[in-house]
Structure 1
Amino acid sequence: MSIGFFRQALNALQKQSRRRTPHRVNQWFKWLSPGLSVKRWLLISIGGVLLASLGLAIWIKLTPIFWALELVRGFLGRITEIIPNYISGPLVLLCGLLLLLWGQTRTVGSITEVLRPDSDEELVDVLLAHRRLYRGPKIVVIGGGTGLSTLLRGLKRYSANITAIVTVADDGGSSGRLRREFGVLPPGDIRNCLAALADEEKLLTELFQYRFQVGDGLTGHSFGNLFLTAMSEITGDLERAVAASSKVLAIRGQVLPATLSDVRLWAELADGRRIEGESKITAAGGNIVKIGCLPVNPPALPAAIKAIQEADYIIMGPGSLYTSVIPNLLVPEIADAIAASAAPCIYVCNIMTQPGETQGFSVADHIRAIDAACSGRRLFNAVLVHKKSPSERALIRYAQQNSHPVFLDREDVTKLGRRIVLANVMHEDDTGCVRHDPQKLAKVLLRWYSSASRQIRLGWGDGVMGCRRALRGFP
């Protein structure tokens, strides 16, 4: 009778657990997930308790333990006379396990309250996310402007091993004023990337983008630019300032300037004009035929070169072609490092043309411009192109600014030796403004990286040429 009743109770509990597993039990079992390095330390702790008990028993010659065991045996004997052992045994075992789990849960809860007092997220979920992100691929992203920060917002969900290499050629707006008045490198693009990689992205972006409306000398300056300028003055240069800021802001990954030289862009236009200054090039409104920088061949930041050499994946763009992407490649050591890397490399083409830079440009024209800036070398294997056309409202809005969707000339791109990756990665807001969608873009890029890496692992060869051969076969 007792056995039958006990079996019925177990069956009822099993059916109930199948219908609904308590959230707390799920959280307990997460601590046994692979990769957390918890199980090994738990076993070591249990072993330590057993060894300590054994040592104490040997030390006191077992006498107290003998009488304690006799007392426990007598007590348990009386219990089993009243309640059969097939009921009392499992019941006591269950009580012990529940006490153990309760104690461990309360301990972890206390630790969580100290480490994350304002967060509802479980500590085990934080650890699992941390392990996953820091085991992600080493990604190097090269560019500048809003395009780079948009991409970083999506990539940081897949890996914390991100290095953003940012141009320092900006000379307009708040960055230009600080550059002229303080002699510091322009912090604007770096500010955007730091905010994009921060955990508290929304709040930090609002703070860093805040522009002073009043105040003698403050009007027009953003808080983020002033913050980085002050850090540069304190630490000695922009590289140390960005590193210190990254620790303060707890960002995922790192942001590096392409060079610490005071770089100024110049461009030759089709009508023969020569324009100097990044902000003046776009404002000139001509067709750019050649671009360069002063000083010629600026030295690259050593940390940027190291990041490229160790990269698993390199992404160029999106962003203004001549004033955000190409300026990084005018640093010869960076272009050389990309060319020597065996990592898959992809270029994210802009969705719309940009007046004053790429009016009338097709996808192939973007590729030719990058190749020309790198002395004809092919630095990337594939080009990501948005697939779907913007809405009619967006097309009308951009046409008024002499901007149009970048035309995909498949045959010319194929002749240039690049694979085309077509995907819907656009976000269009209520006003018809077109941007890359961070999450969609990152998802497509990571999927392409996984496929490209698999092709390389299948034995297409080692080194740079092996990587190139593998990726030429990737659709």
Structure 2
Amino acid sequence: MSISPLKQALRRLSSERSRLTNMSKTTPRRVNRWFKWLSPGLFVKRWLLISLAGVFLTLLGVAIWVKLTPINRLIEFVTGMLETLANIIPNSVSGPIAIGLGVFLLLWGQSRTLGAITEVLQPEGDGELVDLLLAHRRLNRGPKIVAIGGGTGLSTLLRGIKQYSANITAIVTVADDGGSSGRLRREMGILPPGDIRNCIAALADEEKLLTELFQYRFQAGDGLSGHSFGNLFLTAMSEITGDLERAISASSKVLAIRGKVLPSTLADVSLWARLTDGRLIEGESHITEAGGKIEQIGCFPSNPRALPAAIKAIKEADYIIIGPGSLYTSIIPNLLVPEISKALAKSQVPRIYVCNIMTQPGETEGYTVADHLRAINQVSGQRIFDAVLAQKTSPSSQSLKRYAQENCHPVFLDRENVSKLGYRIILANVMDEDEQTGYVRHNPHRLARVLFKWYTSKRHRKI
């Protein structure tokens, strides 16, 4: 179908207007970009000055080498020109003009050089190199954070806090025995990679794409059906590198994640739980399926050895965050490693527990915030954090009805009991609610904002 002459004229007019608008915006944007390179913390100015000094010394060396003859004539010529110029234009005007022109040419040359480098490093042009450097420096100056947990709760937390610091260590449970992870654990004899996979994806820069790739499950294929790509990737890396710790480290470098992901132990840990009705349930996936109330929880072997790198991270941490996540199958399995519980108890840095928003069938039915804290204290044998973050507002009536069908309810904040246990309460709205499904989850960015606000206030109080 042909386009009418009128439409063609309108399109040309629109494109010409856009071109002129873009031209008017280009110059101030470029100037702003040049001055960004002089921002503190980029370590660019010092190298710029060193480069200028190098140019000067090179020219001086050449002049000395040839016995100063060319440089003397050049000096005489430049002196004559400057005297003539000074007679025409006062030095109060010509001096600043020359300085400004020299700085402009220097910055322009550096900008064009860095632009050429950017085209190679970022062929798709996602953001300015200077902005990426500024963000990189800011994140590298962030506090050393240790986040402990597992499941979807820990990966949700990591998506938020990676915007505030690149010095993150996620310590992840390896007690999972269900789904793809359980199959690989039984068939290949490796530690379950599922929770670790989620954390690696959450800390990656290309989070959305990597999450989709790592979460992709094969729908067909002999032996492949039901497995996620991320689990198979980590399994292959474990075979190549020798163990899961090296596999995670190698994968983290390949995927350029912010921070580190560490298993709490390299032992082949299996959970068990004793219910109030006397049943003894073995296996993480079977505990929630049993549908009883948990009276006691433990693991085989009974005292697994902690990963040394995890203990080192806790000792060097500036801030420790525990949760959110399933209390008995994501949080507590990490605390069943005695060295981790002891290291957390000895730590003097701000430590906070992020409580779940809703109760969980088969784990925390009828639990209050204080019940969560008592369960953690019972396992660890001591206090391992200072404060608890609880959801401030209740979900909508639609979500409450949806959850009530599964015997789930909001975790009630019993202030008096929490205070008696010696914990400070942080109340905030950190919830996201899906209007279609009615499910509620922690909002990663809102959660991170509240956590860092509390951390900043604690740090300033110490100062």
When normalised by structure 1's length, the TM-score is 0.89
Stretch of structure 1 that moved more, 64-73 or 219-228: 64-73
Deviations 1:296-345 (A, max 9, x none): 10101111011011111111100000000000000001001101111111
Give the letter aligned to residue 40 of structure 1: R
How far is 1:68 from its partner? 2.0
The two structures, once aligned, show a CA RMSD in angstroms of 1.8
How far is 1:93 from its partner? 4.0
How far is 1:122 from its partner? 1.4
Question: Which residue of 184, 189, 197 corresponds with 2:195?
Answer: 189
Deviations 1:138-172 (A, max 9, x none): 10011000000000000000001100000000000
Structure 2 counterpart SS, 1:267 = strand
In 1, distance between residues paired with 2:91 and 2:253? 59
In 1, distance between residues paired with 2:431 and 2:323? 15
Question: Which residue of 259, 262, 265 corresponds with 1:256?
Answer: 262
Partner of 1:305 in structure 2?
A: 311
Structure 2 counterpart SS, 1:404 = coil
Partner of 1:321 in structure 2?
A: 327
Partner of 2:125 in structure 1?
A: 119
Trace 1:139-288 onto structure 2 (pairs within 5 A): 139-288=145-294
In 1, distance between residues paired with 2:147 and 2:411? 22
In 1, distance between residues paired with 2:294 and 2:198? 27
Question: Which residue of 389, 392, 395 corresponds with 1:390?
Answer: 395
In 1, distance between residues paired with 2:457 and 2:446? 17
Stretch of structure 1 that moved more, 121-130 or 316-325: 121-130
Give the letter aligned to residue 415 of structure 1: K
Give the letter aligned to residue 261 of structure 2: V
Question: Which residue of 397, 404, 409 corresponds with 1:399?
Answer: 404
Give the letter aligned to residue 285 of structure 1: G
Deviations 1:408-433 (A, max 9, x none): 00000001110000011001122211
Instruction: Determine if the alignment matches structure 1 residue 436 to structure 2 residue 435.
Output: no
Question: Which residue of 65, 72, 75 corresponds with 1:66?
Answer: 72
How far is 1:391 from its partner? 0.8
In 1, distance between residues paired with 2:57 and 2:307? 54
Partner of 2:453 in structure 1?
A: 447
Give the letter aligned to residue 72 of structure 1: V
Q: For the structure 1 residues 92 and 144, does the alpha-carbon distance in structure 2 shift closer, same or farther, using more than 3 Å as the test? A: same
Q: For the structure 1 residues 374 and 66, does the alpha-carbon distance in structure 2 shift closer, same or farther, using more than 3 Å as the test? A: same
Structure 2 counterpart SS, 1:422 = strand
Partner of 2:59 in structure 1?
A: 53
Structure 2 counterpart SS, 1:268 = strand
How far is 1:181 from its partner? 0.6
Structure 1 counterpart SS, 2:190 = coil
Partner of 1:33 in structure 2?
A: 39
Stretch of structure 1 that moved more, 90-99 or 46-55: 90-99
In 1, distance between residues paired with 2:399 and 2:258? 34
Give the letter aligned to residue 442 of structure 1: A
In 2, distance between residues paired with 1:77 and 1:295? 89
Give the letter aligned to residue 308 of structure 1: I
In 1, distance between residues paired with 2:95 and 2:423? 70
Question: Which residue of 92, 98, 105 corresponds with 2:104?
Answer: 98
Structure 1 counterpart SS, 2:157 = helix
In 1, distance between residues paired with 2:84 and 2:267? 86
In 2, distance between residues paired with 1:75 and 1:192? 69
Q: For the structure 1 residues 82 and 247, does the alpha-carbon distance in structure 2 shift closer, same or farther, using more than 3 Å as the test? A: same
Give the letter aligned to residue 294 of structure 1: F
Deviations 1:273-294 (A, max 9, x none): 1100000000011000100000
Partner of 2:357 in structure 1?
A: 351
How far is 1:39 from its partner? 1.6
Unmatched 5+ residue regions in structure 1?
1-18, 458-475
Deviations 1:357-409 (A, max 9, x none): 0010000000000001112x111100000101111111111111100000000
How far is 1:85 from its partner? 5.8
Stretch of structure 1 that moved more, 50-59 or 209-218: 50-59
Unmatched 5+ residue regions in structure 2?
1-24
Give the letter aligned to residue 406 of structure 1: V
Partner of 1:12 in structure 2?
A: none
Give the letter aligned to residue 71 of structure 2: I
When normalised by structure 2's length, the TM-score is 0.91
How far is 1:115 from its partner? 1.7
In 1, distance between residues paired with 2:338 and 2:413? 29
Structure 2 counterpart SS, 1:22 = helix
Give the letter aligned to residue 109 of structure 2: G
In 2, distance between residues paired with 1:214 and 1:189? 23
In 2, distance between residues paired with 1:361 and 1:228? 36
Matched residues, number: 438
Partner of 2:9 in structure 1?
A: none
Stretch of structure 1 that moved more, 176-185 or 47-56: 47-56
In 1, distance between residues paired with 2:182 and 2:126? 42
Give the letter aligned to residue 186 of structure 1: P
Partner of 2:426 in structure 1?
A: 421
Deviations 1:96-146 (A, max 9, x none): 332222211101101111222223311111111111111110100110000
